[in-house]
């Protein structure tokens, strides 16, 4: 459906470089990255709002530059709702239809239909400044969808909303996507949002696409420390891999089965860790000192100091009533740790 070939663009302060990407019809792709990584610029390029870029952008095998704007069938929703303040809700939704010359009666009917689809029935006559933030964003979505686009671009449309509203609208988006099977590209800096919504995720760092794949595949094998940490991994240690597979980072060491040597990162996923009451001289067991413990996202978290490195372990069970400074036994399964080159 949508194909990006070697897209590059110089932009104030950063560079989009050599972005290659294919989006299938009906796919929901999330572009995930910290602010300033170029993801919004990339989206504007896809929308045809930025045209002075290198590389090629194809929609259904046609070059975007050669498709007249009216035939592109791309809609976009921005971080702000950007509703036209001088128009009421229905007129906002019907704006694009009016530009196409659709008769007033028909376009108002369609606007009402889409407002109903977005759970805002009867809001048509309201002034836009009477709406809440979430309602405004839903009107903006209705305004984009009423055009019946083939591609929907979403530029952090939920990031200005508070937590509960965001979750609610995430649900709305997911339902809509399942209903309409719209090819959707969603830019966000919130990995949970990307995990929840997207079929595939592309991670951007400083203008480069670092990794592209399903959330599960990326979590199973992230390609860099940046990707791993952006996906939420906490235990990424920088160090050296020595001959024979030994990983060493200052005081910390762990035998692994990796054959690569030299500087690199060791990723210790949560499932590679287990902690127990401190036992004496158990083989392969390390000593960890509890430096913090708390509950987050419904999981018990322990932060441990193990051979000078701080590791985080989480579990749905309260494993023990350990206080700060107490020592516990830590087992690290060398078969479940991952090697990251960069």
Site string for another protein, 103-142 (x = CB under 8 A): ----------------------------------------
Instruction: Specify the 3-state DSSP secondary structure of 15.
Output: strand
Which is nearer to another protein, 44 or 210 (by Cβ)? 44
Which is nearer to another protein, 85 or 298 (by Cβ)? 85
| Pick from 262, 257, 259: nearest CA to 272 | 257
Under the binding rule (CB under 8 A), the answer on residue 294 touching another protein is no
Residues facing residue 200 across a β-bridge: 29
Q: In angstroms, what is the minimal distance from the CB of 116 to another protein?
A: 20
Which is nearer to another protein, 128 or 311 (by Cβ)? 128
Under the binding rule (CB under 8 A), the answer on residue 338 touching another protein is no
| Pick from 204, 237, 231: nearest CA to 219 | 231
| CB-CB neighbours of 110 under 10 Å | 19
**CA atoms 191, 43, 160, 108: torsion sign:** negative
| Pick from 205, 228, 233, 207: nearest CA to 218 | 228
Q: In angstroms, what is the minimal distance from the CB of 78 to another protein?
A: 5
Specify burial of residue 173 (Cβ count, 10 A radius: 0-12, 13-18, 19+): buried
Under the binding rule (CB under 8 A), the answer on residue 76 touching another protein is yes
The residues near 254 (Cβ < 8 Å, ≥ 6 apart) are 246, 247, 266, 332, 334, 337
Give the binding range for another protein (CB under 8 A) out of 79-87, 159-167, 206-214, 287-295: 79-87
Beta strands in 43-128 (DSSP E): 54-59, 62-63, 74-77
Q: In angstroms, what is the minimal distance from the CB of 157 to another protein?
A: 12
Q: List binders of another protein among 85-104 (CB under 8 A).
A: 85-86, 95-96, 98-100
Question: For another protein, which residue of 49, 291, 299, 318 counts as binding (CB under 8 A)?
Answer: 49
Which is nearer to another protein, 133 or 269 (by Cβ)? 133
Give the binding range for another protein (CB under 8 A) out of 80-88, 156-164, 179-187, 207-215: 80-88
Under the binding rule (CB under 8 A), the answer on residue 211 touching another protein is no
Under the binding rule (CB under 8 A), the answer on residue 47 touching another protein is yes
Which is nearer to another protein, 47 or 215 (by Cβ)? 47
Which is nearer to another protein, 100 or 214 (by Cβ)? 100
| Pick from 6, 45, 38, 44: nearest CA to 22 | 6
Percent helix, percent strand, percent coil in the chain, to nearest 5 = 30, 35, 35
Which is nearer to another protein, 96 or 207 (by Cβ)? 96
Task: Please state, in angstroms and rounded to a whole number, the distance separating the CA atoms of residues 322 and 95.
Answer: 61
208, two tokens: 């480069």
Which is nearer to another protein, 50 or 58 (by Cβ)? 50
Q: In angstroms, what is the minimal distance from the CB of 74 to another protein?
A: 7
| CB-CB neighbours of 112 under 10 Å | 20
82, two tokens: 């950007």
Under the binding rule (CB under 8 A), the answer on residue 78 touching another protein is yes
Q: List binders of another protein among 134-193 (CB under 8 A).
A: 143, 147
Which is nearer to another protein, 129 or 251 (by Cβ)? 129
Tokens 């007033």, residue?
104
Q: In angstroms, what is the minimal distance from the CB of 186 to another protein?
A: 16
Task: Please state, in angstroms and rounded to a whole number, the distance separating the CA atoms of residues 241 and 170.
Answer: 42
Contact residues toward another protein (CB under 8 A) are 44, 47-49, 69-70, 74-76, 78, 80, 82, 84-86, 95-96, 98-100, 143, 147
């Amino acid at each position: 459906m949508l194909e990006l070939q070697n897209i590059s663009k110089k932009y104030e302060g950063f560079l989009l470089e050599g972005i290659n990407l294919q989006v299938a019809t009906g796919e929901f792709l999330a572009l995930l990255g910290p602010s300033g990584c170029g993801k919004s610029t990339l989206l504007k390029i896809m929308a045809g709002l930025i045209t002075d870029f290198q590389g090629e952008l194809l929609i259904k095998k046609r070059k975007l530059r050669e498709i007249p704007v009216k035939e592109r069938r791309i809609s976009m929703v921005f971080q702000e709702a950007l509703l036209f303040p001088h128009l009421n809700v229905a007129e906002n939704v019907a704006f694009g239809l009016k530009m196409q010359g659709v008769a007033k009666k028909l376009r108002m009917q369609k606007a009402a239909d889409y407002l109903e689809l977005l759970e805002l029935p009867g809001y048509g006559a309201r002034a836009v400044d009477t709406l809440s933030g979430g309602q405004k964003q839903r009107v903006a979505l209705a305004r984009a969808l009423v055009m019946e686009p083939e591609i929907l671009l979403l530029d952090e449309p939920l990031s200005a909303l508070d937590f509960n509203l965001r979750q609610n609208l995430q649900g709305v988006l997911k339902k809509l996507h399942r209903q309409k099977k719209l090819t959707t590209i969603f830019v966000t800096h919130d990995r949970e949002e990307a995990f929840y919504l997207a079929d595939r995720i592309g991670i951007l760092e400083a203008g480069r696409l670092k990794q592209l794949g399903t959330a599960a595949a990326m979590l199973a094998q992230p390609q860099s420390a940046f990707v791993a940490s952006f996906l939420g991994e906490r235990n990424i240690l920088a160090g050296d891999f020595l001959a024979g597979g030994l990983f060493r980072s200052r005081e910390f060491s762990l035998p692994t089965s990796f054959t690569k040597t030299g500087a690199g990162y060791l990723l210790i996923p949560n499932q590679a860790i287990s902690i127990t009451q401190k036992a004496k001289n158990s083989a392969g067991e390390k000593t960890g000192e509890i430096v913090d413990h708390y509950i987050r996202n419904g999981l018990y978290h322990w932060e441990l100091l193990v051979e000078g490195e701080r590791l985080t372990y989480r579990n749905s069970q309260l494993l023990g009533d350990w206080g700060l400074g107490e020592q516990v036994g830590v087992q690290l399964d060398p078969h479940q740790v991952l090697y990251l080159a960069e």
